[in-house]
Structure 1
Amino acid sequence: MPDTDTDAPLRLTVLGSATPYPSADNPCSGYLVTAADTRVWVDAGTGTLGPLQRYARLDELDAIWISHLHAYHCADLLTAYYGALYADIRLAAPIPLYGPPGTADRLADFLTNSARRSPVESAFAVTELSDGQRAVVGSLTLASRAVEHGMPAFALRVEAGGRSLVYSGDTAPCAALAELAAGCDLLLCEAEGDDPAHHTAEQAGATATAAGAGRLVVTHVGRALTPAAAVARAATRFAGPVEHADPGAVFTV
C-alpha cells in the first residue's frame, strides 16, 4: 500500500489521476515529486493546483515538468500563472518550466486577447524538452525521452539518492519508454484503454515487465474501467507489486 515515509530519498505524491476530465474527488493528471528540499510539479492537469497547495506553494517549487500539451495534463498552468503573479505569491524568479516544443507560445496564446504577446514568461522560465534531455533540479536528476502519442510527448525518469521512478506520460507502448524505465524502482504508467495512442492496463503491465521495474503504479485509467480492474489486469502481465494512483496517495521510492 502507499505510505508516507518522510525519510525516503524520493517520493511521489498523486495530486490527481483522472482522465479526460476531473471527477468529483479526483483531478486530472498531476504529481508532486520530492527529494530532500526539492519539489517538482509533474504535469499540471485540470484541478491539480488545488491539492498541490497542501504540499507546496508555487514559490516553493523548484520546477514544473509537462509531458505534453493536451489540456488535462497542462491546463492548470493557466491558473498557476495568475496565482504566481497576481495574488499572494511573490516569486524571486520565474518558475523553471520544462515542456514540449511550443509550450511558451501555447500559454501566451491562451492568455491574450490581442496581437500582443501575454506576459506568461514573467511567471515561467520555459525550457523546451528534447529526446534524451537531462537536467539537474536541486536533489533530482530529470531525464526525458520522446514517446509515441501522435504529438510531441515525453516520458520522465527521476533519480535521487540511488533510487528512480519513471512516469510514462501519455504514450502507446514503445521502445523508448521501456529503455527509459529499465531497472527503475517504480514505474508510473498510464492505462487509458484501447486508444492506440495509449496503454491498456495489460500493456502497462507488459511495459513494466520489459523494463524490469520493481513496482508498477497504474494511472490515467479510462472511465470504462475501475481502478481495481485496471490493477488486476495489469497484474496479469507483471509479477511485481501493482497499485493504483489514488488521489492523495504518497509512494516512497
Structure 2
Amino acid sequence: MRLTIVGCSGSFPGPDSAASCYLVEAPFEGRTFRLLLDLGSGALGPLQDYIDLRDIDAINLSHLHPDHCFDMSGLYVVRKYHPQGRPPRLPVYAPAGADWRLSDAYGTTAPNGMTLPFEFHALSDGFETKIGPFTMRTYRTPHPVEAYATRIEHDGSVLVYSGDTGPDAGLVEFARGADLLLCEASFVESAENPPDLHLTGADAGRLATDAQIDHLLLTHIPPWTDRDEVEADLRTSYAGAYRLVQPGDVVEL
C-alpha cells in the first residue's frame, strides 16, 4: 500500500500546497487500484502530476467542508465531458447528502447532475465496506459538520486518516494497531482554540501515543500556522517516528 500526499494545507490552499488530498494505491487484479482520500480546494491540479484523472477508482470524502471536497466540481467536468468519452460512474463514499451539496456547489440542475458521473454511498459511524483491494471502516469524529476518520486495511497493513476532528477518546481505539496514522494538527497549544474543531500537535501526539502508533504523519496545518510550533507541541506528547508532511511525500506500507 502506497500513500502519496497530494495536498496537505489546512482549511484552504496555501502558496505551497493544495488543500487535503491523499492518494492510496495498491495492487489489484493485475493493475494498480487508486483510492482518493478527500479532494479539497486546489488539489485537482497537482493530482495530475501523479495519475490520469480518469484512472481514479474510488473516492472517500471525510466531510463536506470545501477544503476536503470542493475540487469534485472540476472532476465532474473531467468525468462528464472528456473528449475520449465518459467513463463508468465513479464510486464516492461521503456523508449523506453529498450528492446534492456538491451539485449545488457546481451549479448542476435537476435532476441531480452530480449523479451522472458519480455513484454516491452514504457514510455512517461504523460503516465498513470493501473497495477494490482495501477494507475501509469509518468513525464519526467531533467536528461542526458530519465528519469521519477512515481506517484502511490491505494485506496486513493499516492506515488511519483522522480527517478533521477535535480530541476524542474513541478515536484512540479506532486508530489502535495502525501502521501509520495520518493525523490533522491545525492548532497550536499557545492559542485559545475552540472546542470540537481541530487538534494541536500535542493532541495528535497524545492520540498516537495512546493508540500505540509507531509512525505518525501530521497534516492539515494552515498556511498561517507556524509549523515549528506544531512540531514542538508534538514532541511534548509523542516519542515515535513522525513527519510533518509536504506535497509529494510518499510512504510505503
Same structural fold, with TM-score higher than 0.5 when normalized by the shorter chain: yes
Specify whether residues 86 and 221 from structure 1 end up closer, same or farther in structure 2 by C-alpha distance, changes over 3 A only: same
Q: Structure 1: which 5+ residue stretches go unaligned?
A: 1-9
Counterpart code for 1:62: D
CA gap of 1:88–1:24, structure 2 versus 1, over 3 A, is farther
| Cα separation, 2, equivalents of 1:89 and 1:207 | 46
Unpaired runs of at least 5, structure 2: 188-192
**TM-score under structure 1 normalisation?**
0.91
- 1:25 is matched with 16
Give, in whole Å, the separation in 2 of the partners of 1:29 and 1:110: 18
Cα deviation code 1:6-42 (max 9, x no counterpart): xxxx111111111222122210111101112211011
CA distance in 1, matches of 2:85, 2:228: 42
Tell me if 1:49 matches 2:68. Answer: no
Once the two structures are TM-superposed, the CA of residue 163 in structure 1 deviates from its matched residue by 0.6
Shift of 1:89: 5.2
- What's the offset of the Cα at 1:113? 6.5
Q: Whole-Å Cα distance in 1 between the matches of residues 194 and 80 of structure 2?
A: 38
AA at the equivalent of 1:56: I
Give the aligned partner of residue 210 of structure 2: 210
Q: Does residue 173 of the first structure (1) align with residue 167 of the second (2)?
A: yes
Task: Give the alignment of 1:130-145 within 5 angstroms.
Answer: 130-145=124-139
**Helix, strand or coil: the match of 1:217?**
strand
* Partners of 1:187 and 1:213 within 8 A in 2: yes
Match for 2:116 among 122, 125, 128? 122
Q: 1:154 aligns with which of 148, 165, 174?
A: 148
TM-score, structure 2 as length reference: 0.91
What is the CA deviation profile of residues 196-232 of structure 1, one whole-angstrom value per residue up to 9, with x for unaligned ones? 2110111000011111112111101134433333223
**1:1-253 map, 5 Å:** 10-36=1-27, 37-88=32-83, 90-112=85-107, 116-193=110-187, 194-196=193-195, 197-253=197-253
Question: Take 1:136 and 1:214, find their aligned partners in 2: how far apart are those partners?
Answer: 26
- C-alpha distance after superposition, 1:132-186 (max 9, x if no partner): 1111111111111111102210000111111111000000011232121001111
1 CA distance for matches of 2:95 and 2:234?
29
- State how far apart, in whole Å, the 2-side matches of 1:113 and 1:92 are: 19
Say if 1:73 and 1:209 are closer, same or farther in 2 by CA, change over 3 A: same
Query: Which amino acid is 1:23 matched to?
Result: G
- CA 54–69 in structure 1, closer or farther in 2 if over 3 Å, else same: same
The list of structure 1 runs, each at least 4 consecutive aligned residues, that deviate by more than 4 angstroms after superposition, is none
Instruction: State the secondary structure of the residue aligned to 2:38.
Output: strand
SS at match of 1:229: helix
Determine the C-alpha separation between the residues in 2 that align with 1:137 and 1:56.
Answer: 19
List per-residue Cα deviations over 1:42-67 (Å, max 9, x = no partner): 11111111121222223211100000
Q: Supply the AA of the counterpart residue of 2:179.
A: D
